Amino acid sequence: MAVIGIGTTSHASVEDVLAIVAAAKAKMVEDVSKTPSPQPSPQGEREKAAALVAREDGAAGVPSPQRGEGQGEGGLIAALAALNRPALNAVLQEAARRAGLDLILLTLDQLRAAAHLCVTHSEHSMKQYGIPSVAEAAALAGAGPDARLLILRIVGVHATASVAGRP
């Protein structure tokens, strides 16, 4: 299971979050397509990854999944994880709903516990939260113990994203 970690500015909109989620998904597809497959399969991970980019992120009529029941892109990506910031939680909830992902809201202490595994460094994030990357820390904390970064921080408009998963 992979988790997209999101970092946002206070000006982030649902569209900003969906755009950075789409960028992270596209990066995953790019990385999956570069990895040689030992046995090509019509329903393999490469095809699942390609399908997630073709899917519309804003599909109407998709109910918000309950925790643990996210549509999760066929197992490739299961959730969106972010710092619990009440002023932005509604934006994150709507973006997760539209993307068909579970939403994991994390405390700053949970992000700090994963911060030592971050690879990229944002001066803004260090100054405001004391961690090198909110997106990377959220992805790592959201993915759970033994998680590792699959996609380093991607910067968008008012939002950043990273992807982590467990081996």
Residue range 40-81, pLDDT digits in tens: 433 343 343 333 333 333 322 223 333 344 444 445 789 999
Confidence of residue 84 (pLDDT cuts 50, 70, 90): very high
- Characterise 88 by phi-psi region: left (phi > 0), alpha (psi -120 to 50), beta (else): alpha
Q: Show Cβ contacts of residue 111 under 8 Å, excluding neighbours closer than 6 positions.
A: 83, 129, 131, 134, 137, 138, 141
Could you give phi then psi for residue 112, rounded to 5 degrees? -60, -35
pLDDT in tens, 28-44: 888 766 655 444 433 34
Dihedral pair phi/psi, residue 74, rounded to 5°? 65, 30
Dist CA 60 CA 145 (whole Å): 34
Banded model confidence at residue 9, pLDDT cuts 50, 70, 90: very high
Please give the average per-residue pLDDT across 105-130, as a whole number. 96
Confidence of residue 117 (pLDDT cuts 50, 70, 90): very high
User: What CATH architecture applies to the domain 2-34+44-165?
Assistant: 2-Layer Sandwich (3.30)
pLDDT tens digits, one per residue of 102-111: 999 999 999 9
Cβ pair 22, 52 in contact under 8 A = no
Answer yes or no: is pLDDT of 136 > 70.
Answer: yes
Q: What stretches of 35-133 show up as alpha helix (H) in DSSP?
A: 45-54, 89-99, 108-114, 123-129
Parallel, antiparallel, or unpaired: how do β-strands 2-8 and 159-165 relate? antiparallel
Q: How many helices (H) and strands (E) does the chain have?
A: 6, 5
Mean pLDDT for the chain? 80
Structure tokens at 154: 């991607």
